[in-house]
Each structure stands twice: as C-alpha cells, then as structure tokens.
Structure 1
C-alpha cells in the first residue's frame, strides 16, 4: 500500500475545460480520466492548466488552482488585489471576475442548490434569478467596494499581519485589504507589527463612528501597547476560556439600522456590510407586512435587530419574543429593546428554548439561523405554530434549500425569494425567503 506522500497528487497539473460554478467559490472540471476537480481562480467555459492543491490517487475529488489560462472567459478581469490568486489570500473567491459576472455566478449557485436539495426551480420559489448589489456597490470592473466593516486579521510568528490562505493556517502578509471598509483601514492596524498576537480583529461600526480592536494573544504573550491612528477601544480574548475582556474604552460598539441604535458588545455579531442591516430589515418587513397587534417570533435574534423592527411595527398591542443562545448578545438585545414593554428576549438554543415557551400560535416569524440552518425539528415546530408568514434570512444557499424542503413537507411554500450580494468578491451571498401556508388562497 502506498504511503500518503506516495499517493498524493498535490502539484500535479492538468489541462482542462472548466465547467459550471459550484457552491464554495470554485468551478467543476474533469481530467481526461474523468477525475473530478474543484478549481479555484477559474471561470466557467475557460480552458486552463490547473495544479492540484489537495488530493490523492484514492480521493473522491481533487482541489486545484487555475495557474495558467489558455482561453479566457469574457467575464475575466485582472484581479485588482495583489494578494489574490493561486496560493495567496483565501478571503476573496472572485477577484478575477467582473462584478456582474460574480452576481450571475452566485445566482447560478442558488438556483442549483434550490433544485438539487429542495426540488425547486427559481420560479417555484418566487425568484427571478437575479442577485442584487447593495446600494453603492455597483462599480465598474477593476474597482472594489470597501465594504467589510469587521476584518479579522491573522498574525504570523514574526508579528506581521495578514490573512489566511485558502484552507490553510499559513498567513499571507498584507499591507492593505481592498474589501476592508474605510473605517477599518483608517485604524492603521495593517501598518504595524503585532508581536505575540495570534489575531487582530478591526471593527468600524456603521453610523456611530465607533472603532474597536479585538486582540487574541498567543499563549503566554503580553498585550502590546496599542497606539493607532484614531481613538479606539481595545478588547482581548482570554487564551484559556476564549472569553472577551475590556482593556481600554467601551466594551461595545454602537451600530445604526432602521433608525435605531444597537449596542453590540465584546466583538459580537453584526452584519459586516454597512448597507446590510438596513437592506435586510427592509426586505424582511416588506415580505412579512406586520400588522398592529401581531404576535411575532425573532429566532437566533442576536442583539435584537429584527425584534426591534417588528416591535416598531406591531405596536403596543402586539408582542415579540426573541430567542438567542449567546449570553452577551441577550444582554445587549434586552438593553437595545428596553423601551418596548411587550418584547421579551430568552436565552437558549432555539430548538430547546422554543418548546419551553409554551407558545402554541404566532402570526409572524423571523428566522436568521447560523450557516448550518434551522433543521428539520425546528422547522416542524414553527410550522405547527401556524404563522401567517415566515421570513427566512439565509447566509448559505445549501442550508436554505434544505430547510425550504422541510418547510414544504410541513405545509409551507416559498412565496418570494430575494438574493443580495452583500459580500462582493467572495462566494458568499445573502437570501431572504418569505414563506406562507401552501394552501393559502386555495
């Protein structure tokens, strides 16, 4: 039996015709022998020489980079970022594609996942097949929107800052991330060394001007004296328990969305595109059409973004229950929504906390699960509550498709679906699906 090193195909090169896009930021190709390749840095229809980066003789498939383009797609451009390309930074998947082509590719992925995992064609889901850019992001080829308001940089053993290479712990040292929002770049974290640190997260809150740096030291290392280009609060991650602690300034940042201010503590979750929170709230509320007096659920509610929007719209006679597993996020949500008497935030995993509430019926549901999705049991429970409409906010088209299939089996159909390119240059895409009982209007 050959050893792993003897059977490895890493470094082998093949000339291939590049096939369709696949979920995950790569395209599918096949060798002359029929072996499947997942190829990065290529575009559908190209002819390219690809080099294997992962895989062995007995692997089900191989991963590869396109290292030489023989016949280029009309959608190809020179990558604007000098750190993008084979063997370099793994943060951006589509730097080599025109912006419009990136959105088409994302649309093709959504459509493929819907049909393969849920048996839905775009028209069955009320979707026209388009992926919409965020306002201000529709730029000419070669221009990159600086959109990412939260960037977690890796630090190498010499204290140099950078970003991880694709599927690797190796650090690609950078002096500027093109997709970082201006507020992140203004902090200047890319222009100094960080000895003893494992990672540095830079946060530029939207609308408030708050800036924050979260430091994760290597074991036994001391925090450096942080002197940056503008006032900033500093937090650190405990090397033993992973807890986040305040070093200097506030332990939260203030984010603005839907004409409200939200406190987001200790490096907690908030949408990273500056337009995302407002855009998603608008899409969700347009889909749900809340009424005065409605009872609504906001599941995986974070710091209360959708719960706050719902509370504004259901009025004093309505009620909103939010459920969130993160302890600090729950504290922030309760703080953020303290002016609403009929809003309650419960801590716990949704699949465990929701049955404990004793709720037997609701009017509306907002579902914003993590990347893995909500799952069959949660979907069945929600369908049993008989909501008039459900808004499903999804950051992963595969998880969305699986859950839509579960909803279909539980008696709900997808009325409309909208897709937004809130992560330009990457393969990520955000969707908002609006569901209603399948027999409505029949």
Structure 2
C-alpha cells in the first residue's frame, strides 16, 4: 500500500464514552469494510471493520505476526505486545502449529473443571471482602476487588505461577501494554526473562500446569527453542489475564446499564450463556484491533492487500456490524447464537482460552449480582475513563455502591 498517509484516518479514534465506541467505525465500514488508515505509530495499515471481512481474514493463513523485512514494516504502536512484527518469517507456520499442538491439550476439559471449582471459591471470598469494605454505604472499586484478582488467580493456577508474584507480573504486563515511550520495550524484555525463570523452575520441579507441559514438550521436540518457549509463556501470562480483567469490569457495567439482562442473569440459568456471549460481543475495552502482516498478496473483494502490508482486524467494529448483528448496539439476551462474535478470533487462530474466559465471566458476574442484586454505580457513567494509553485498554476504576 502507499506510504502516503496524508488525509487518512488515524488510530486510535476518539471515544465518546466507555460503552460508546463512536460513529467513525460504522462510517468507515459504510465507506468500505477494509480501509487504509494511519496507525498510532504513524505508519500505514489496512483497517478491517466489516464482520465478514474480519472473519475471512482471521482464517487466512497468508496473514501472520512476522514480516519478511521487519525493519521496514509498519509499526502499530510502541507497545511491547502487538506493536510490530514478531518472530521468524520462515519459522512462523511451524511455530503456530507447535503452539496449538502443545497448548490445546493443556486446556483440557478436566483442567478447566478443576479451575472452575477454585474460581467459585475465590469469587465468593472476594465478594465477602467487597461487602465488608462497602458497609455503611461506602463506595468500593469493583475493578480492584473482583475484576483484577480473579483472572490473576486463575492464570497463576493454570500456568503454575506463584500467586505471591502477582503484583510483579501485573506491573510488567501493564507496562508492556503501554503504547508510548521507551518503557514498554524494557518491560517486555523483563517479562520474557521472568517467563524464562518460571520455565527453569518447572524444569527442576515439574507440576500439573501449563508451563510444565511446555517444558516437557520442549524436551521431546529438538526444534522447540527456548526463545519460543519463553515467548509462549509470556504471551499466555499476559493475554490470559489482561483481557479477562477488562471484560469483567466492562461486563459488570453493561449489566448495570441493562436491568432486564441483569435480572435474567440472576433468575434464569438457561439464559446465562447467551448473556455472556453478548457481553463478550459488546465489551470493547481496547480501541482498535489485532495487528497482522500479509505474507503474500491477498485479494479480498475489490481490495488487494500487498505482501508486507499491515492489517488491523477490529473485532469491536466487526462485532457491531449490523449485517451480522441486527440492532448491534443492544445487549440482547435472546439474540440467536449464530453468527458467532469475533472476540476470540475465528478459524485456526481461535483463542485457545475461550472456554476459560467464558467461565470466568459467568462465575464472576452471576456471583456478583446474585450476592449484591441492588449494586449500582457510585458515579455517573460518563465519568468513567478507559486506559487509552494501553493496548488492552480497560477501566481505571469502577466505583460502585449498594
């Protein structure tokens, strides 16, 4: 694509409110569902806003995270994650195949059931503490009391990371996700080093956890490098809690703003799966999308994405495409299951941890509103702010009372 970025829309777009992504996404989709834009780093990229186009490109093996000439590739941002090309161009297909071969068994149904038992107990304990903190009508931060600690606990249990180290890797994750300054690059180096230390501990003292699974897989596969192993551990540690933390908070806010859905969540267990799917569809803590690079020319409709071009697939825009989801801005507990939303991607790169994230949302939100049915915001919704400086977005805080 042309390097001339004059007059092109520049990401990130201004957002009117936490639950309002703004009209520009629909305007761009109406103009063309694949549109040239300028990234937050100032480089050219294609922005995908249409549901069908996003679904098609998610499934296309000609898109990847690496680049044949990474030094010339468009930068997305200064974030340590999703900021630019990652990994070896020649080795990426084999790496992706190995990643799924190793991780899919690690997310077995038996392990997920075991995690669910623990997360329900922790959720109840967290809510006990939250209720104590809110006695006498005091305002409490739901984000800090529930949304943050629950996914961190779950990812620690899943990976075999000491829960006592949660503040350390939380800080590294947040710094790595920041899109400005030089600190994200320092943070991602530290996070990869920490991931390597965790792997070394499991080499000496294996357990029943994902890092042990990865270490054992590396022993059996001479092509599975230590750099790849630490990259996977760091990625799962980061993505395995950051996105869920933010969606629990945004999900709680969506339910606070939708009394009927909230009542059905509490009173109709059969409705809970669809409510969770609607929350996943509409909860958009971030403000642009997933960055990929074309490994070769891709023709989609009347658009030619040339080899090496950056492509940003916007799930928040695709999930609000009215051709796929009528009345797309509404949280509808009765919405048919199909078509599926794009929050976990699609096709071969569908998120391995999707079922775990769904379980965390269901447990957290059902327990919250069952325990505190008269929960309400302690501030006007317009006062809530998102972390626009972070790749993963998310609320600064969610003050509530009851």
Fold equivalence (TM over 0.5)? no
More strand as a share of residues? 1
More helix as a share of residues? 2
**Higher alpha-carbon Rg:** 1
